[in-house]
Structure 1
Amino acid sequence: MNAVYEGATPGFLVWRLSMKWRVAVDRAVSPLGLTHAQYSVVATLYGMRRSGERPSQRRLADRTGLEALYVSKLARSLESAGLLERTRDPRDPRAVQLALTPRGVEVTGRAIETVQGLLRQLLEPLGGLEGPRTRAFTDDLTTLLDTPLALPPDTGTHETEQS
């Protein structure tokens, strides 16, 4: 074990791993003109497209875990780059549907291959992508992600130091 992490809390380790992953993905997909956040959007759209979905921005935000306003901003930048198209939902004129363009499908396919290579590297110490330790790790992560957190109520005020 790296001495830097000795005595570290699980929360700190999760944060460090997520930062390591984000930086690695950012660097890996940068040559394709993508950021990690943009990759999250196009890769999720790619998967939803394969199952016949053309999701709304809201549905995509729910699927990715990103804020809807942030997904909207990312979608606009991806549309400007020619990777995504945004159209009004014929069933709900307030909703915007998202779809990859043919160029978006091609770029996203290459990005997914690149990120899968990174994932294989990351998981090698656990026995690889299909190893039993990786499956257990995935199960543990899923359990943690499915566990709701009770956040303290926001009172809208901040205590100040009194003299």
Structure 2
Amino acid sequence: MSNGTEGATPGFLVWRLSMKWRVAVDRAVAPLGLTHAQYSLVASLHGMQRSGERPSQRRLADHTGLEPLYVSKLARALEGAGLLERTRDPRDPRAVQLALTEQGREVTRRAIEIVHGLLQQLLGPLGGLDSARTRAFTRELTALLDTPLEPFSETETEQS
């Protein structure tokens, strides 16, 4: 184990890994004018559009796990940069639909390639992106993400 992680709790390790990943992606996509959060938004939007979907901001927030207000802020910044367009949903005038512009699709394609390379590096110790260990790791992560977390209070501990 690396320095500072021997005897660490799983929660601490998850936090450290998520921070390592966020910083690496931030640095990697910065030359394209993106942050990690913006990358998460445009890459998700890219995948959804390729599936024929033109999601609302709310749908994209649900998909990415980002707060709806934060998605709105990111979408406005990306619209200002010419990477996406925001339009009213003809079926629900309260909803805003998002779509990548041509420039947005090109920047997103380049960013996805860069992040894919980072992912290959990160998963190298597990045998790479297509290894059996990585597939098992992905199943474990999915199980953790699918587990609902309820707020915990100190009174629950006292009652146990």
Q: TM-score, normalised by structure 1?
A: 0.92
Distance 1:95 1:81 in 2: 21
4+ runs of 1 displaced by more than 2 Å? none
Gaps of 5+ in 1: 154-163
What amino acid does structure 2 have at the position aligned with 1:34?
L
List aligned pairs for 1:49-60, cutoff 5 A.
Answer: 49-60=49-60
1:99 is matched with 99
Distance in 1, Cα, partners of 2:112 & 2:99: 17
Structure 2 gaps of 5+ residues are: 154-160
Q: CA deviation at 1:57?
A: 0.2
> Which residue matches 1:62?
62
Q: What code does the residue aligned with 2:24 have?
A: A
In 1: Cα distance, 2:96 partner to 2:18 partner: 30
1:51 Cα deviation after fit: 0.4
Which residue pairs with 2:157 in the alignment? none
Equivalent position amino acid for 2:131 in 1:
G
- 1:49-128 pair list within 5 angstroms: 49-128=49-128
Quote the residue 1:159 is aligned against: none
Percentage of identical aligned residues? 80
How far has the Cα of 1:3 moved from its partner? 3.6
- Residue by residue over 1:55-106, the C-alpha shift from the partner in whole angstroms, topping out at 9 and shown as x without a partner, is 0000000000000000000000000000000000000000000000000000
Indicate the RMSD between aligned Cα atoms, in angstroms.
Answer: 0.8
Q: CA offset at residue 2 of structure 1? A: 1.6
TM-score (norm 2): 0.94
The residue number in structure 2 matching 1:11 is 11
Q: Structure 1: how far apart are the matches of 2:39 and 2:75?
A: 11
CA drift at 1:150: 1.2
Aligned length: 153
